[in-house]
Each structure stands twice: as C-alpha cells, then as structure tokens.
Amino acid sequence: MIAFIIRRLLAMIPLLFIVSVITFFIIQLPPGDFFDTMQAEIAQNGSSQDAQTFQILRVRYGLDQPIWVQYLRWVQGWPEGDFGWSMAWSAPVWPLVRDRLLYTVVLGAFSLLITVTYAIPVGIYSSTHQYSLGDNAFSLLGFIGLSLPGFLLALFWMFVGALVLRINVGGVMSAEFSNAPLSWAKLVDLWNHFWPPAVILGLSSTAQMQRIMRSSMLDVLNQQFITT
C-alpha cells in the first residue's frame, strides 16, 4: 500500500509539470500582454500614457523575455512558496490565494457532505426499488443534475435571488456584517450566503454518485450469494 502511494505521488511530478507548461503557454496564446490590455483600457477611457512607461514595466516584470525564460522564472520560486506577482492586484500571488483558500476548502467540504448525505441513501433506495415511481423520480432528478452546468445554475440563482427574492447573492456576507462582531445575525447571514454555492457546486457530483451507487448496488444485489 505504501509503495502504491509513493508511486502515485511520484507520478504526480511529471503530470504537474506537463499541466503547468500547457497552462502557461495557453495563457500566452492571446496577442499582447497585460500591459497592452492596460494601455488599451486607458486609451478607451480617454486618457493617455507614455508608451515608454509600459516598456519599462515590461522589462521590470520580465515580459520582454522569451516565453521559456518567463516560465523558468515562474517555476523557480515554487519550492519556496513563491508563485509570482499579480500585476492586476499589485501583490504576491500566494497571499491572495491563501486568503481565499479557507473559504474554498470549507465550501468544497460542505458540498462533499451534501453529496454523500443525499447520494448514498437515494442510490440505495433506487437500487432496492428498481423501476418504481420513486426510482424513476430520483433518476429524472439525477439526469437533470448531470445535464445542467453549474455556471448556468449559479446565474439562475443570482437572477432569482437579486430580482425575485431581493436578497444579496454576492460575497461571503452582507456589507453591514463584514466588520461587525460575531453574533447570531452574522452567522445566519453567513449561512445564507454559503449554502447556495455549496449546493450548486455539489449538484453535479451528487447526481453522478447517485447513479454510480445505484448501479453498484444493483450489481451486488444480482450476485449469486444474494439471490440464493
């Protein structure tokens, strides 16, 4: 078991390298760079900026170097936890990621909890009541969950929440609670902002696990040691 885990971890190294190379070069495919976009936005707003200033910034951030040199400069800081500099936020990348990492982990864990809590009982019920009304209803809901993309559901929820329910659907919590001390009202507001993205995020995996659980249970129930 330990040898298997070690082999898997070692196999991740070339995989991460390949993914990083592909991702980096895909980012470089559009014409221009970050400062070309900034210069175009400044011109669109009716302002102007000396082109020499942007060239100095390109040299400062290494954007005048060949792509492979930029890639090597980017990856050489990984062992030290240095993932580069965000020119859009004018800050190091890792602190920006770290500040949002806790919310991402909690959101993913809660969506996984929703998936397991719903999919396993429903999959067991569907397998033990094959082709019943409940099985067909849960199967229909599962196919709908698999077919609807998460971003579409998120847009639909934003539309319903903002225009129909008249609630704030953005951010971690409402603005009036951002600097307020911990209270029951703040926890309720945090929960109201938290559960919709968790449900939307876990919907597709819930439907997929439900179908897998159903088919796996049907295979087991049809085995000879069960039927006899």
Per-residue pLDDT of the chain (228 residues), as tens digits, is 788 888 888 888 888 889 988 988 888 887 777 777 777 777 777 776 677 777 877 888 887 888 888 888 888 877 777 777 777 787 888 888 888 888 889 888 989 998 999 999 999 999 888 889 988 999 898 888 888 888 888 888 888 887 887 777 777 777 777 778 878 888 888 888 888 888 888 888 888 899 899 988 888 888 777 776
Whether residue 161 sits in one domain with residue 83: no
Domain count, the chain: 2
Q: Are residues 67 and 161 in the same domain?
A: no
203, 117: one domain: yes
Assess whether 153 and 62 both reside in one domain: no
- Among 64, 90, 116, the domain boundary falls at 90
The total number of residues shown for the chain amounts to: 228
Q: Which amino acid does the sequence have at 127?
A: S
| Domain-terminating residue out of 62, 90, 118 | 90
Same domain, 42 and 111: no
Cα–Cα dist 95/188, whole Å = 28
Q: Both 70 and 142 in a single domain?
A: no
Residue spans of beta strands (DSSP E) within the chain: 85-86, 91-92
Q: Tell me how far CA of residue 148 lies from CA of 43, 125, 141, in angstroms.
A: 40, 24, 11
Residue type, 131: Y
Q: Are residues 208 and 102 in the same domain?
A: yes
Together in a domain, 213 and 106: yes
In a shared domain, residues 68 and 102: no
**pTM of structure:** 0.68
Q: Are residues 116 and 218 in the same domain?
A: yes
Tell which phi-psi region holds residue 90, choosing left (phi > 0), alpha (psi between -120 and 50) or beta.
Answer: left
Q: Are residues 130 and 222 in the same domain?
A: yes
> Cβ distance 69 to 75 under 8 Å?
no
Q: Are residues 150 and 171 in the same domain?
A: yes
Which of the listed residues 45, 71, 90 is the one where a domain comes to its end? 90
Q: Could you list the residue range(s) of the whole structural domain that residue 141 is in?
A: 97-227
